[in-house]
Amino acid sequence: MLEPTLNYVLCPDAASGHRMAYWDWGQPESAHVVVCVHGLSRQGRDFDTLARALCEQSGNTLRVVCPDVVGRGQSDWLTDPQGYQIGTYAADMMALLAQLKLTTLDWVGTSMGGLIGMALAGQGPEASRAAGALAVRRLVLNDVGPVIEWQALQRIGDYLGNTGRFETVQQAADAMWSISSSFGPHTPEQWLALSRHMVRPLEDASGQVTLHYDPAIAVPFGSLTQESVAQGEALLWHLYDNITAATLLTRGAQSDLLKPETALAMTVRGPRARLVEFEGVGHAPTLITNDQLQAVTSFLLD
């Protein structure tokens, strides 16, 4: 079975810098590169099924790069928790793209990963050229848009930062399912596969595991207010309206984070996204079922 290689990029910060890990699939010399960025408390191995499908369906002629956003997976943790914000993540992605020496790329972003993609692709072509940034050819926004529903953020805040202690990976998977059933139907085997990379061993002699991420990612998230989220909508719409990439918007039909009216507005302004909805799924589609894979791979390989 096709497996990725693990690499790192050094990213600057106010301290001594930090390393961001990324998982590299396919042909390293390919000019067609797809960058896949995960959600708030997830990590880059979420995209294993999508990355394999893209490589296989392309005849292994493209490259798929899946970062672990700082504070997650195999990446370093920040010394200052206030750095766990979109601005830092976008800057880290620019450091990664510079290391990869790309000219153009496609972007798949789930939830937070979609917001990072909007921050990069929404600079507009003139600003991008002035900054030496790369052109985003195709953009997939997976269950996220300029309007983030406050009730969904409250739901996420109820569990974010509680990384727990578990005797086994299966026990951790069961605990994660209790807060992730909105991802939609998964077989036990599919969910366990998604969960294997979501844990790390505890640094003691217990033999137990805990969730992979730095609990401090919850610190800046916890400072959000309904007013600050609403104020950020204007900036997000501005970024979205500047996007020139062909855009696919995938939405869980029962999503509480991306409301239908926001999704519809995204189809008639800015890049006029093509909207695909998945029944029986909330926030957010995991892009491992056949219908979800088909929607994304056909868009990126067209």
Q: And the tokens for 198?
A: 């979501």
Q: And the tokens for 183?
A: 């991802």
**191 domain residue, yes or no:** no
Tell me if residue 218 falls in helix, strand or coil. Answer: helix
pTM of the entire predicted model: 0.96
**273 domain residue, yes or no:** yes
Instruction: Provide mean pLDDT across the span 32-56.
Output: 98
Note whether 22 and 96 are within 8 A (CB): yes
Could you tell me the pLDDT band of residue 229, with boundaries at 50, 70 and 90? very high
46 vs 48: CA distance, rounded Å: 6
**pLDDT tens digits, 71-101:** 999 999 999 999 999 999 999 999 999 999 9
What pLDDT does 112 receive? 98
Could you tell me the pLDDT band of residue 36, with boundaries at 50, 70 and 90? very high
Enclosing domain of residue 72: 5-157+234-301
**185 domain residue, yes or no:** no
What pLDDT does 131 receive? 47
C-alpha pair distances (Å), 290 with each of 54, 65, 186, 243: 13, 21, 12, 28
* Short-list 138, 26, 111, 96, CA closest to 287: 111
Q: Is the pLDDT of residue 103 over 90?
A: no
> What percent of the chain clears pLDDT 90, i.e. is strictly above it?
91
Exposure string (b/e) for 48-84, b if CB count within 10 Å is 16 or more?
Answer: bbbbbbbbebbeeebbbbbbbbbbbbbbbbbeebebb
What pLDDT does 129 receive? 47
Instruction: Provide mean pLDDT across the span 6-15.
Output: 94
191 vs 52: CA distance, rounded Å: 17
- Count how many domains the chain has: 1
Q: Is the pLDDT of residue 138 over 80?
A: yes
Q: Strands 104-110 and 63-68: what pairing?
A: unpaired
What pLDDT does 249 receive? 98
What pLDDT does 126 receive? 54
Tell me if residue 197 falls in helix, strand or coil. Answer: helix
Q: And the tokens for 239?
A: 């970024």
What pLDDT does 241 receive? 98
Q: Looking at residue 246, which CATH number applies to its domain?
A: 3.40.50.1820
**248 domain residue, yes or no:** yes
Instruction: Provide mean pLDDT across the span 121-142.
Output: 75
What pLDDT does 1 receive? 78
269 vs 238: CA distance, rounded Å: 11
Angle at which helices 169-180 and 188-195 pack, to 10 degrees?
110
**247 domain residue, yes or no:** yes
**pLDDT tens digits, 149-188:** 999 999 999 999 999 999 999 999 999 999 999 999 999 9
Q: Is the pLDDT of residue 134 over 80?
A: no
Instruction: Provide mean pLDDT across the span 232-256.
Output: 97
Mean confidence (pLDDT) of the chain: 95
What pLDDT does 189 receive? 96
Q: Is the pLDDT of residue 203 over 90?
A: no
87 vs 182: CA distance, rounded Å: 28
Q: Is the pLDDT of residue 288 over 90?
A: yes
**173 domain residue, yes or no:** no
**162 domain residue, yes or no:** no
Q: Which comes out higher in pLDDT, residue 257 or 204?
A: 257
